[in-house]
Amino acid sequence: MPAARTTGIAVSALSDENDCKQVRRAGDAAANVPPYDQGGNIVLNGLMMDRPLLISSIITYAAEVHGTAELVSADAQGHVTRSTYAEILPRISRLAHALRTLGIRPGDRIATLAFNNQRHFELYYAISGIGAVCHTINPRLFPEQLAYIVKHASDRVLFFDGVTAGIVRQMRAQWPADLRYVAMEDEPSTSAIGDIPGLLCYEALLADHPPAMSWPELDEKTASGLCYTSGTTGEPKGALYSHRSTLLHAFGLAMSASKLHGQGKRLLPIVPLFHVNAWGTPYSAPLTGTSMIMPGPRLDGASLFDLMDREGVTGSLGVPTVWRGLLTEIEKRGRKPKDLTLAIIGGSACPRSMIEALENVGVEVNHAWGMTEMSPVGTCGQLSPEQAALPAEEKFALQETQGHRMYGVELKLVGDRGERLPHDGRAVGELLIRGPTIASGYFENPEASAKLLDSDGWLRTGDMARIYPSGFMQIVDRTKDLIKSGGEWISSVDLENIATAFPGVAIAAVIGIPDAKWDERPLLVVQPVSGATPSKESLLAFMATKIAKWQVPDDVVFMDSVPLTATGKISKLHLREVIARLRA
Ligand code: AMP
Pocket lining: 228 vs ligand 1, CB cutoff 6 Å: no
pLDDT of residue 26 exceeding 60: no
Pocket lining: 371 vs ligand 1, CB cutoff 6 Å: yes
Pocket lining: 372 vs ligand 1, CB cutoff 6 Å: yes
Residue 491's alpha-carbon distances to 365, 484, 528, 548, 556, in angstroms, are 23, 9, 22, 12, 17
Residue 320's alpha-carbon distances to 303, 363, 379, in angstroms, are 17, 14, 16
| Cα separation, 519 vs 484, whole angstroms | 7
Q: Is 190 exposed, middle or buried (0-12, 13-18, 19+ CB in 10 A)?
A: exposed
Q: Which helix (H) or strand (E) holds 88?
A: helix 85-101
Over residues 209-260, the pLDDT tens digits come to: 999 999 999 999 999 999 998 655 578 999 999 999 999 999 999 999 999 9
Pocket lining: 474 vs ligand 1, CB cutoff 6 Å: no
Which of 60, 164, 222, 229 is flagged as catalytic?
Answer: 229
| Cα separation, 366 vs 336, whole angstroms | 17
Where does the chain hold its CATH 3.40.50.12780 domain(s)?
A: 54-242, 299-479
pLDDT of residue 574 exceeding 90: no
pLDDT at 533: 93
Pocket lining: 431 vs ligand 1, CB cutoff 6 Å: no
pLDDT, greater one: 7 or 505:
505
Pocket lining: 369 vs ligand 1, CB cutoff 6 Å: yes
pLDDT of residue 583 exceeding 90: no
pLDDT at 38: 86
Query: How many angstroms separate the most distant Cα atoms in the chain?
Result: 79
Position 187 confidence tier, pLDDT thresholds 50, 70, 90: confident
Other Cβ atoms less than 10 A from the Cβ of 580: the count is 12
489 in active site: yes
pLDDT of residue 24 exceeding 60: no
pLDDT at 310: 98
Contacts from 327-333 at CB under 8 Å and sequence distance 24+?
327/301, 327/354, 327/357, 327/358, 328/301, 328/529, 329/301, 329/302, 329/304, 329/305, 330/305, 330/361, 331/357, 333/305
What are residue 2's DSSP bridge partners? none
Report the percent of the chain where pLDDT is more than 90.
79
| Cα separation, 500 vs 535, whole angstroms | 14
Domain 481-583, second-level architecture: 2-Layer Sandwich (3.30)
Over residues 284-337, the pLDDT tens digits come to: 999 999 999 999 999 999 999 999 999 999 999 999 989 999 999 999 999 999
Which of 221, 332, 338, 484 is flagged as catalytic?
Answer: 484
For the CA of 276, the nearest atom of ligand 1: 4
For the CA of 372, the nearest atom of ligand 1: 2
Pocket lining: 181 vs ligand 1, CB cutoff 6 Å: no
| DSSP helix/strand/coil, 572 | helix
pLDDT of residue 436 exceeding 70: yes
For the CA of 376, the nearest atom of ligand 1: 4
Give me the mean pLDDT over the 7-13 stretch: 33
pLDDT at 34: 78
Which residue's alpha carbon is nearest to atom 17 within ligand 1? Answer: 348
Pocket lining: 346 vs ligand 1, CB cutoff 6 Å: yes
pLDDT at 487: 81
What are residue 294's DSSP bridge partners? 73
pLDDT of residue 275 exceeding 50: yes
| DSSP helix/strand/coil, 117 | coil
For the CA of 373, the nearest atom of ligand 1: 2
What are residue 145's DSSP bridge partners? none
Pocket lining: 349 vs ligand 1, CB cutoff 6 Å: yes
565 in active site: no
Give me the mean pLDDT over the 546-561 stretch: 92
pLDDT of residue 4 exceeding 70: no
| DSSP helix/strand/coil, 362 | coil
Angle at which helices 301-311 and 320-333 pack, to 10 degrees? 70
| Cα separation, 567 vs 559, whole angstroms | 20
pLDDT of residue 13 exceeding 60: no
Over residues 137-185, the pLDDT tens digits come to: 999 888 999 999 999 999 999 999 999 999 999 999 999 999 999 999 9
pLDDT at 573: 83
Distance (Å) from CA 284 to ligand 1 centroid: 21
Over residues 467-493, the pLDDT tens digits come to: 999 999 999 988 888 898 888 889 998
Q: φ, ψ for residue 412 (rounded to 5)?
A: -145, 150
For the CA of 475, the nearest atom of ligand 1: 21
Position 450 confidence tier, pLDDT thresholds 50, 70, 90: very high
Angle at which helices 85-101 and 55-65 pack, to 10 degrees? 140
Distance (Å) from CA 159 to ligand 1 centroid: 28
Where does the chain hold its CATH 3.30.300.30 domain(s)?
A: 481-583
pLDDT at 530: 87
User: In the predicted model, what is the mean pLDDT of the chain?
Assistant: 91
Distance (Å) from CA 370 to ligand 1 centroid: 6
Other Cβ atoms less than 10 A from the Cβ of 269: the count is 23
Which of 122, 373, 400, 496 is flagged as catalytic?
Answer: 373
pLDDT at 388: 96
For the CA of 345, the nearest atom of ligand 1: 19
Q: Is 279 left (phi over 0), alpha (psi -120 to 50) or beta?
A: left
pLDDT of residue 43 exceeding 70: yes
pLDDT at 6: 32
pLDDT of residue 19 exceeding 50: no
Pocket lining: 367 vs ligand 1, CB cutoff 6 Å: yes
Pocket lining: 376 vs ligand 1, CB cutoff 6 Å: yes
Pocket lining: 261 vs ligand 1, CB cutoff 6 Å: no
373 in active site: yes
pLDDT of residue 404 exceeding 90: yes
Distance (Å) from CA 255 to ligand 1 centroid: 21
Most confident range (mean pLDDT) of 7-11, 194-198, 449-453, 545-549 is 449-453
Half-sphere exposure of 363 (CA within 13 A, CB side): 28
pLDDT at 231: 57
| DSSP helix/strand/coil, 230 | coil
pLDDT of residue 9 exceeding 70: no
Q: Which helix (H) or strand (E) holds 58?
A: helix 55-65
Position 197 confidence tier, pLDDT thresholds 50, 70, 90: confident
| DSSP helix/strand/coil, 161 | coil
Q: φ, ψ for residue 494 (rounded to 5)?
A: -60, -45
CATH of 54-242, picked from 3.30.429.10, 2.40.50.1040, 3.30.70.580, 3.40.50.12780, is 3.40.50.12780
pLDDT at 32: 62
For the CA of 368, the nearest atom of ligand 1: 19
pLDDT of residue 16 exceeding 80: no
Distance (Å) from CA 551 to ligand 1 centroid: 23
Pocket lining: 552 vs ligand 1, CB cutoff 6 Å: no
Which residue's alpha carbon is nearest to atom 8 within ligand 1? Answer: 347
The CATH code for residues 299-479 is 3.40.50.12780
Over residues 350-381, the pLDDT tens digits come to: 999 999 999 999 999 999 999 999 999 999 99
Full DSSP string of 246-301? HHHHHHHHHHHTTTT-STT-EEEE-S-TTSGGGGGHHHHHHHHT-EEEE-TT--SH
pLDDT at 157: 98
Which of 151, 217, 489, 577 is flagged as catalytic?
Answer: 489
pLDDT, greater one: 10 or 512:
512
| DSSP helix/strand/coil, 233 | coil
Residue 15's alpha-carbon distances to 10, 23, 207, 343, 447, in angstroms, are 11, 12, 63, 52, 31
Over residues 57-99, the pLDDT tens digits come to: 999 999 999 999 999 999 999 999 999 999 999 999 999 999 9
484 in active site: yes
